[in-house]
Chain A
Amino acid sequence: MDFWEDDNSDEMDIDNDLMDDCEEDSFSESEQESNVKRFQKLNIDDDFHVEYAPQRNTTAYGSSRCLEHIKSKEKMGIGDLVKDHALPFLPAKSICRFRSVSKEWNKWITNPFLAHKQSHCFQDISGFFCQIAGEHSFISCDPHSCGVPDPSFSFLPEPVILRTTCNGLICCQSCIEDNAYYICNPVNRQWKVLPGPNYYHGPGSAVALAFEPSALKFEANYQLVCAIRLADHLLCFEIYSSRSKSWRLVDALCCELGALSGDGFYMKGMVYWETLSGSVLAFDLTYEQFGIFPLPPECGPEGVLTKRHGELCYILPHKKDNEFAIRIYGDFKMVLKHSFPLELDDFGYTSGGLRALSCLNDDVLAILFGNRMITYHVKAQKVKTLGTVRPDGFVTCHPYVNSLVPVDHPLVSRQQANSRPCTSSSL
């Protein structure tokens, strides 16, 4: 896929925001000498005539940079503004489709600056990657606007299982040989294989991907945090950092917990894993310390840790007779914050039960109802079916953000970016 063919590093003026910042800084330089009477008559445009009376201590309104700044803004029509400022708020599929709007749009869309801006501006959960028995599929929240070209991960060099996702990046693991970890983005089909860890990540281990898109940092900086089981009740943490391109064992050792129930969830500098015994192992990436807090006693595999209203919460479906309800627990004490019934009468009886998948935004929950994936709008009490999954087993569903985030920085050479000789990213 020739997504990144254009090296548009000389076309920085496409991104007006960057240029605006440069121009605005120069205003402070234009302070002129005081106590000089100035009479300025300016013809800025044929249609626009400005006159200013004599004033002391003034710099001309028409100091040439200020003038050009405003003039360039005047020239921009709605099409240009939408291209520059609205596109970054769109999901990747819509943006890729709009490459055929015009040549200028195509140029901007293939510019790495746009990908960087979009990864920061668009952070909505766009769908779920589902897998069972080595089979992958993608269920979109809105098929017209969110999607990926290849949901089967066939662009990777070997068959993989999907471990975890975070803000547009996906962590997969090879099924064969040395079980290498891959970090990829299925939208642009870029991928990177991580060097082997220093410790054995056996079956009792769990991972979590920590990636926070930054407006300032151009390269995607992420960490893969692995909780490794050393012995029956002994966990240690090994972290891969994309910045250092290496693995590191942290000092913290956890000897208080039993088995972890699955891969973790990242939010606001912390990583959270559920345990089989009904508690949460929280790891703080800044201080490299862990903490443990309990989940509500009714917790189970049908519940999920997710983010709502900017805070961590636990969503648990509850079934009594044929009535369904959703309970939401929050705060570190995981107290019951809200409970509301689910109106699912139209959907009939299901033997599969309910499983909470994620909170899409503050008002919408994603739930697996039997083998049907639905979204539930809490205020409007509206149910929408997104798709179905295979009914013959436990399907893992990972929330995914349709981001353009590059895995391999297009302007950095392959050799610089990867430490392993045969790691490559397809373009």
Chain B
Amino acid sequence: MASSSTSVVVSNKEKENKNTKKVTLKSSDGESFEVDESVAMESQTIKHIIEDGHYSSLALSLSVKTTMASSSTSVVVSNKEKENKNTKKVTLKSSDGESFEVDESVAMESQTIKHIIEDGCANNEIPLPNVTSGILSRVIEYCKKHKEAAGESEPSVTSYTSNSTTNPLTEWDTEFVKVDQNTLFDLILAANYLDIKGLLDLTCKTVADMMKGKTPQEIRETFHIKNDYTPEEEAEVRKENQWAFE
């Protein structure tokens, strides 16, 4: 390695977002560069330091000046960025003309979109004329969250110390459906149209909770259902199931 005129200090910072572990590279003249650990490991030297665990405070002697350090890291960074850009994206277009670019894997949470992509017709935007931008953005949020959760290797931990269900995804789902009735209905329609079973079950379960204490007339009004019974027929059904009306 080189003379002691320059030194590089490598320190490790664990970020809250565990998906991107960061590493700080400090050049000899004091400039710091924070990069993704995976990016920094393009350098075999730094890779060994990190792997050996000797990085809390280690001064490395490198005859590298700021400009060179920054240029090499910037090259490295841009290579990784290019790689990231290769994750396939699709564009979804809502009924009111707004476009949403999402990872293909996230969009494929929708069976409808999955079939369109697999049939090879998704080179252009995928138009979704039955879904407004407001609803589509929520649906995408749901798909992203559930795709993320599916990819995590960490199992949900049951802890008895807290009294709540500690599955964070369940709690997220509960918050997600705390919306007004019209939005909830639109989410059901969108989940059905886009064929996303998890979202359909979640929203329908929420509606079921809201329905269970209602009278048949209230159900008709809420969901715009026409009563096609004659009064005699309705009285007959009611009489057969009298216990259910008490």
A interface, CB within 8 angstroms of B: 1-2, 20, 24, 27, 30, 47-48, 50, 52-53, 55, 57-61, 63, 66, 70, 73-74, 76-79, 81-82, 85-87, 89-91, 93-94, 96-106, 142, 144-145, 147-150, 309-311, 328, 330, 337-338, 340, 362-363, 378-379
A55 touches B121 (CB 8 A): yes
The total of interchain contacts (Cβ-Cβ below 8 angstroms) comes to: 162
**7 extra interface residue pairs, beta carbon distance < 8 Å, beyond A59-B120, A70-B193:** A59-B119, A61-B119, A94-B214, A97-B241, A144-B213, A145-B213, A340-B163
Question: What is the CB-to-nearest-CB distance from B199 to chain A, in angstroms, rounded to a whole number?
Answer: 11
B223 touches A82 (CB 8 A): yes
How many chain B residues sit at the interface, stated as a range, is 35 or more
A337 contact from B160, B164, B215, Cβ within 8 A: B160
Tell me the B158-201 residues at the A interface (CB within 8 Å): 158, 160-161, 163-166, 185, 188-189, 192-193, 195, 200-201
Q: How far is the CA of A93 from the CA of B192 in the complex (A)?
A: 27
Question: What is the CB-to-nearest-CB distance from A104 to chain B, in angstroms, rounded to a whole number?
Answer: 8
Instruction: Provide the B199-221 mask, 1 if CB < 8 A to any CB of A, else 0.
Output: 01100110111011111100110
A1 touches B240 (CB 8 A): yes
B192 touches A76 (CB 8 A): yes
Specify the chain B residue showing the minimal Cβ separation from A50: B127
Q: How far is the CA of A58 from the CA of B185 in the complex (A)?
A: 35
Q: Does B111 contact A (CB under 8 A)?
A: yes
B interface, CB within 8 angstroms of A: 111-112, 115-116, 118-121, 123-124, 127, 129-130, 158, 160-161, 163-166, 185, 188-189, 192-193, 195, 200-201, 204-205, 207-209, 211-216, 219-220, 223-229, 233-234, 237-238, 240-241, 243-246
**18 CB-based A-B contacts, threshold 8 Å:** A2-B240, A50-B127, A53-B124, A58-B119, A61-B116, A66-B119, A73-B192, A78-B223, A81-B192, A96-B241, A98-B216, A99-B241, A101-B219, A102-B227, A102-B228, A103-B228, A103-B233, A337-B161
Specify the chain A residue showing the minimal Cβ separation from B127: A50
A89 touches B120 (CB 8 A): no
Given the known A-B contacts A99-B241, A100-B234, A144-B213, are A79 and B160 also in contact in the complex, defined by CB atoms under 8 Å?
Answer: no
Q: How far is the CA of A76 from the CA of B228 in the complex (A)?
A: 18
Q: How far is the CA of A310 from the CA of B238 in the complex (A)?
A: 38
